Structure 1
Amino acid sequence: MTTNESPAAAAAPKTGTANLARTLGLWSIVGLGLGYMTPTVVFDTFGNVAVQTNNAVPAAYAVALIVIGFTAISYGKMVRVIPSAGSAYTYVRESMHPGLGFLVGWTSLIDYLLLPMVNALILRSYMVALFPDVPAWIWVVVFTAAVTGIIYVTMRGTSNANMILLVFSIAVMAVFVAMVVIQLIQGAGSGTVASVEPFFHPDVEFGAVLAGATIVCFSFIGFDAVTMYAEEAKSPKTMPRAILLTVLVGGAIFLVAGYFTQLRFPSSDAFPPEAIADSTLPEIGSQVGGIWLQSVLTAAGFAATLASWLASHASVARMLLVMGRNGVLPKKLFGYISPRTHTPAFTVVLVGLVSLTAIAFTLEQIVDYINYGALIAFTFVNISVIAYFAIRRNRRHTPRDIFAYIVMPAIGMVLTGLLWVNLDSHALVVGLIWTGLGVLYLLVLTRGFRRPVASFDENQPVTGFNKIVEPGPRSQI
C-alpha cells in the first residue's frame, strides 16, 4: 500500500472477492448518470413546480443547478481520495465518524427506496392518460411485477442499452423544443422565443422560487449515483469530471426544456389539477402536438423512466444486499443470494413490495420525502470536505486550500440550507422519524455504542463471496 492510498482503499478486501472490470469511459459514466436522472422528468413535474413558483419553472432549475453545482464539486473532491466507495455515508464514515456515517447512510435509504416508487407513479400517469378507463392501480401492479421479475432473473447492467434509451429521449425532447419554437413564433403561448419572464416577472417571489428549487432538487438525484461506478471507470481520475459533467449537462437539459415549456405555457392554469398532482407530460404533449406528439413524448418518457426504474431498483437491492453481507441488516435474509438466479432474491422482492405502495401516493408527495434524504446527503458531503481536508489533513493554511476546502464546501452547505428551509413540513416530520429509527437501530447494532459500527459499501462486488456463485455471465451484478 502506498502512502497516498485512501482509507477506503486500504480497508477494501484484497482477496476472496471479484474485482469489477474497468470498462467505462467518461461519457459512458455521464450517460449512466443522465439516465438515472431521467431528463424527461422536467415535463412530469412541470405543472407542480409552476404552481409552486408562480410560473417560473426555469428559475427554480437555475437555483437548484447552482446549489447542486457546489455540492457536485464536493463530491468530486471526495471521490478523488476515496475512489472505491462513492456515496455520502462512506465519505462521512471515513472523514468524521462511523456512527455518523451509518446514520447518513440510513437516511439515504429514503432516496434509494422511494426512487422506484417515483418511476412507478410516472409510468402510472402515462398509462392513465392513454387509457383513462383502466383503474390506475393496475398499472402500478403490472409494471412493478415486470421490473421486479426482470431484476430477479438478472441484475446485469448494460450501459449501451441505457445510452440508447437516453439518446432516444433527448432526441424526442429536441423535436418537442423545435415544435414549441415554431408555435411561439406563430404567436402561441408568450408569443416570443426570447424573454426573461420564465425566470422573472412581477409575480415571482424568491421564496417561491426556492420552494420550487427544493422540488426539482430530486431531478438531479443521479449525479451522485455515478460515484457507484468509480471501480468500473477506465481511470479513477475521470470521476470528478464525470460528476460535474452529469450535473452541467443534466442542468442544461432541464433549463432549456423548462424555459421553452414555460414560454409555451405561461400559466399553470393550462393543466388540470389531476395532471399537476401526478404528471403533466402527457398533457403537455397533447396540447403542443396532439395525440401523435403525446404518444411520442410519452414513449420517450416511458423509455427514460423505465431505464431509471431498472437502475434504481437494482441499485437499492444491491445496497441492501451488501448491508446484509456486512451484518448491518439481518444477514440470513438481506445477504441471501438465490442459487438458481444468482441474484439477491429477498432484497429484489422487498423493493418491489415497497414500490407497490405507490398505489396510495401522488408524485408530489413522494418527491418531498425523497428530498429529505437527498438534502441530508448533500449537506454532509460538503461537511466531509471540510472534515477530511481542512481538519484531518491539515490543509487550511494557504489561501488556495482555505478557498477549496473551507469556503467552497461552506457555500455549498449554506445554499443547501436554503433548500432545507423550504422542505415540506410533512416530509421533514417523516424524515426525522426515519432518522430517529436509525438512531435506535444503531444503538441495538452497537449494543449501546460498545461495539464498532459495521461498514457497508454499496459498491462492493457481490460476486465471489458465496460458494454458490460460480464465475460466468449470470453471476454478474
Structure 2
Amino acid sequence: MQPTSTNAESNSAITEGHRPERSLRRRLKLRHIVFLGLAYMAPLAVFDTFGIVAEATNGRVPLAYILIIIAVTITALSYARMSRYYPGAGSAYTYTRQTLNPHVGFMVGWAATLDYLLLPMLNALLAAIYMGAVLPDVPAWVWVLSTIVICTVLNVVGVKLAAQVNVILVVVQIVVAVAFLFFAVRNITMGIDGAGLGLSPFDPSGVPAGSLLSGASLLALSFLGFDAVTTMSEEAIRPKKDIPRAIIIIVISAGVFFVAITYAMQLLFPDVSEVGNIVGASPEIAKYIGGALFQALFVGGYMFAVLGCGLTQQMSAARLLYAMGRDGTLPQRFFGRINRRTGVPVINVVFIAALACSAMFLDLESAASLINFGAYVAFGAVNLSLIFATVKYLRPAGRIGLFAGIMLPSLGLLINVALWLSLDMNAKIVGIVWALVGLAFLTASTRMFRTPAPEMAEPEMDEV
C-alpha cells in the first residue's frame, strides 16, 4: 500500500490493497451486529466484579466505571475509524499488522489470544461464585467442573448457539438486570436502612488515584466483546457505516447501563463489607433487595448466561487454536485436527476445558486481571495504529483531523497503558511470560525477523 495525499484516496488504497481472498455472505444488519456484540459482552458482567472493585475504590464503583468508559469510548472511536479504513474482517491484530509492522502485529495478536483461551476459565469461576451464594455448602470445585463438563460435552457433540439464541440470551440478561435495578431503586426511594440519593459514589476525594486506577483496571471485563464485531465486517451489509455505528452503540449503551446499575448498588451499600461475601456481593445484594425468590431468579438468569457464554467462548477459542494449528502457528498434528463426524476440533475443545480447570486455583481478581492483560494490549495497539495510519497514509488537515487522528487516540493510548500498569502483578507476570513465549516463537520462525511474520487467525463470532 502506497501513501497518498488525500483521505479519500488513502481510504480507497487501504480498501483495495487489503481485500480479503475469501468472500462471506453479506447478510448482517445493524441490529444483528449490535445484538451479537452485546451477547458476546454478556450484560450481566456488570455484577461480576462489583464487590472487589467497591472494596478497592472505597465505594466508588460508578466513578471507576466512568474512568474505564472514557478509555473504552476513545478506543471504540479508534476501532470505528480503523474499521472504515479496513472494511474487511479485522481486529487489533489486523490493524497493527497493516499500519505498524507485521511482527508487531503478530505480538499483539498473540497477547490478545490469551483472552480467548482464558475466558472459559473465568466463566467457570463466576459460576462457582454465584451458585456458592445460593448453595454455600456445596464445594466450589463442583460448580467449576460441572460448568466445564456441560459446555465441553455440548461443544464436542457439535451443538452451536445460533443468532436467535444469542438474542434470547441478551434479552434474558437485560430482563434480569432491569428487574435488579427496579428492586434496587424501590429500596432507595423507600429509604430502607437509610438509603437515599447522593453523589458520594462519584466523589473522588479520599480515594487514592492508584486505588481508583486499580479498581477501574478490572472493569474492562465488562466491555470485552465490543471490539469483536469488527470481525464481522465481511458479513455486514453496510460495513463502513454499520460496524462503526454498532461499536459506538454497544459501548455507550453498555456504559450507561453499567453506571446506573452500580450507582444503585453503591447507594444501598456504600460500605460493601456489610454484605459479608465481597466476591459474591451481587447475589447477596439481590437477596437483600428482592428476597430469596428474586435471588434464585437472579442466579438462575445468570447461570443461563454463563452456560450460553461458556458454549460460545469455548468453541471460539477451540476454533482459534484450530486455525493457528492449520496455518502452522501452533503444532499442526495436535491443534490442526477436526473430528470428521462432527466437524468439531475435539482435541482443542478438551484442551480449553483443561485450561478452564485452573479456575479451581484462582481468585476473581487474579482471573479478571489475566483476561484484561490482553484486552489492554489490544486496546492500546488500536489507538497506536490509528495514530500511525493518520500520519503515514491519511495526512490529516485542520484541527479536527489532528484531534481525531492523533490527539484523541494518544489520550486513549495513555489511559490504557495506565490501566494496564494497574493490573494485578501476578497477572502481569503470567501475561509477560506468555508474550515472551510468543516472541521466542516469532524470532525462531522468522529467522531473527528476516522473513515475514506468520499470519495469525482472526477470532470469529458465531454466524447468524
Give the TM-score category using the shorter length.
over 0.9
CA–CA distance in structure 2, aligned partners of residues 226 and 456 of structure 1? 18
Q: For residue 34 of structure 1, what is the aligned residue in structure 2?
A: 38
Q: For residue 250 of structure 2, what is the aligned residue in structure 1?
A: 246
Q: For residue 56 of structure 1, what is the aligned residue in structure 2?
A: 60
Q: For residue 353 of structure 1, what is the aligned residue in structure 2?
A: 354
- Segment drifting more, 122-131 vs 71-80: 122-131
Work out whether 1:100 is the aligned partner of 2:104.
yes
Q: Secondary structure at the match of 2:66?
A: helix
- Residues 459 and 231 from structure 1, CA distance in 2 versus in 1: closer, same or farther, beyond 3 angstroms? farther
TM-aligned CA deviation for residue 80 of structure 1 = 1.5
1:395–1:405 Cα contact (<8 Å) kept? no
TM-aligned CA deviation for residue 439 of structure 1 = 0.8
Q: Secondary structure at the match of 1:353?
A: helix
Task: Give 1:236's match in structure 2, choosing from 207, 226, 239.
Answer: 239
Work out whether 1:80 is the aligned partner of 2:84.
yes
Work out whether 1:177 is the aligned partner of 2:178.
no
Q: For residue 372 of structure 1, what is the aligned residue in structure 2?
A: 373
Q: Secondary structure at the match of 1:40?
A: helix
What is the root-mean-square deviation in Å for CA atoms of aligned residues?
2.3
Work out whether 1:127 is the aligned partner of 2:131.
yes
- Residues 447 and 202 from structure 1, CA distance in 2 versus in 1: closer, same or farther, beyond 3 angstroms? closer
Work out whether 1:296 is the aligned partner of 2:300.
no
1:189–1:266 Cα contact (<8 Å) kept? no
- Residues 343 and 127 from structure 1, CA distance in 2 versus in 1: closer, same or farther, beyond 3 angstroms? same
Work out whether 1:89 is the aligned partner of 2:93.
yes
Q: Secondary structure at the match of 1:396?
A: coil
Superposition map of 1:258-297 within 5 A: 258-272=262-276, 275-277=277-279, 279-297=280-298
Count of residue pairs brought into register by the alignment: 455
TM-aligned CA deviation for residue 271 of structure 1 = 2.3
TM-aligned CA deviation for residue 5 of structure 1 = 5.6
Q: For residue 18 of structure 2, what is the aligned residue in structure 1?
A: 10
CA–CA distance in structure 1, aligned partners of residues 310 and 258 of structure 2? 19
- Residues 7 and 343 from structure 1, CA distance in 2 versus in 1: closer, same or farther, beyond 3 angstroms? farther
1:8–1:85 Cα contact (<8 Å) kept? no
Superposition map of 1:60-459 within 5 A: 60-154=64-158, 156-192=160-196, 194-200=197-203, 202-237=205-240, 238-272=242-276, 275-277=277-279, 279-391=280-392, 393-458=393-458
Structure 2 unmatched ranges of 5 or more: 2-8
1:286–1:294 Cα contact (<8 Å) kept? yes
- Residues 327 and 145 from structure 1, CA distance in 2 versus in 1: closer, same or farther, beyond 3 angstroms? same
Q: Secondary structure at the match of 2:28?
A: coil
CA–CA distance in structure 2, aligned partners of residues 353 and 163 of structure 1? 29
1:8–1:94 Cα contact (<8 Å) kept? no
The one-letter code matched in structure 1 to 2:278 is: I
The one-letter code matched in structure 2 to 1:406 is: I
CA–CA distance in structure 2, aligned partners of residues 55 and 232 of structure 1? 43
Q: For residue 466 of structure 1, what is the aligned residue in structure 2?
A: none
Cα deviation 1:365-410 (Å, max 9, x = unaligned): 101111211111111110000112221x141343332122111211
Q: For residue 471 of structure 1, what is the aligned residue in structure 2?
A: none
2:272–2:281 Cα contact (<8 Å) kept? no
- Residues 8 and 200 from structure 1, CA distance in 2 versus in 1: closer, same or farther, beyond 3 angstroms? farther
1:84–1:459 Cα contact (<8 Å) kept? no
Greater share of helix residues, 1 or 2?
A: 2
CA–CA distance in structure 2, aligned partners of residues 265 and 77 of structure 1? 40
1:328–1:454 Cα contact (<8 Å) kept? yes
Cα deviation 1:329-353 (Å, max 9, x = unaligned): 1222222121010122222221111
2:232–2:461 Cα contact (<8 Å) kept? no
Cα deviation 1:296-351 (Å, max 9, x = unaligned): 11122112222222222222222222212222112222221210101222222211
Cα deviation 1:268-297 (Å, max 9, x = unaligned): 11222xx324x3222121121221111111
- Residues 342 and 280 from structure 1, CA distance in 2 versus in 1: closer, same or farther, beyond 3 angstroms? same
Cα deviation 1:183-212 (Å, max 9, x = unaligned): 1122225522x3111111653343322221
1:281–1:298 Cα contact (<8 Å) kept? no
CA–CA distance in structure 1, aligned partners of residues 133 and 307 of structure 2? 17
TM-aligned CA deviation for residue 155 of structure 1 = 5.9
- Segment drifting more, 221-230 vs 304-313: 304-313
- Residues 332 and 9 from structure 1, CA distance in 2 versus in 1: closer, same or farther, beyond 3 angstroms? farther
CA–CA distance in structure 2, aligned partners of residues 157 and 407 of structure 1? 41
CA–CA distance in structure 2, aligned partners of residues 38 and 280 of structure 1? 18
CA–CA distance in structure 2, aligned partners of residues 445 and 460 of structure 1? 25
- Residues 233 and 357 from structure 1, CA distance in 2 versus in 1: closer, same or farther, beyond 3 angstroms? same
- Residues 355 and 461 from structure 1, CA distance in 2 versus in 1: closer, same or farther, beyond 3 angstroms? closer
CA–CA distance in structure 1, aligned partners of residues 362 and 81 of structure 2? 37
The one-letter code matched in structure 1 to 2:418 is: L
Which consecutive aligned stretches of 4+ in structure 1 deviate over 6 angstroms post-superposition?
none
The one-letter code matched in structure 2 to 1:408 is: L
1:103–1:435 Cα contact (<8 Å) kept? yes
- Residues 337 and 169 from structure 1, CA distance in 2 versus in 1: closer, same or farther, beyond 3 angstroms? same
The one-letter code matched in structure 2 to 1:276 is: I
CA–CA distance in structure 1, aligned partners of residues 341 and 14 of structure 2? 37
- Residues 133 and 191 from structure 1, CA distance in 2 versus in 1: closer, same or farther, beyond 3 angstroms? closer
- Residues 118 and 459 from structure 1, CA distance in 2 versus in 1: closer, same or farther, beyond 3 angstroms? closer
CA–CA distance in structure 2, aligned partners of residues 27 and 147 of structure 1? 27
CA–CA distance in structure 1, aligned partners of residues 459 and 46 of structure 2? 29
TM-aligned CA deviation for residue 23 of structure 1 = 2.4
2:117–2:352 Cα contact (<8 Å) kept? yes
The one-letter code matched in structure 2 to 1:287 is: Y
CA–CA distance in structure 2, aligned partners of residues 236 and 375 of structure 1? 25
Q: For residue 467 of structure 1, what is the aligned residue in structure 2?
A: none
Cα deviation 1:207-258 (Å, max 9, x = unaligned): 3222211111221111111222222222212001111111111111111100
CA–CA distance in structure 1, aligned partners of residues 449 and 209 of structure 2? 44
TM-aligned CA deviation for residue 437 of structure 1 = 1.3
- Segment drifting more, 63-72 vs 130-139: 130-139
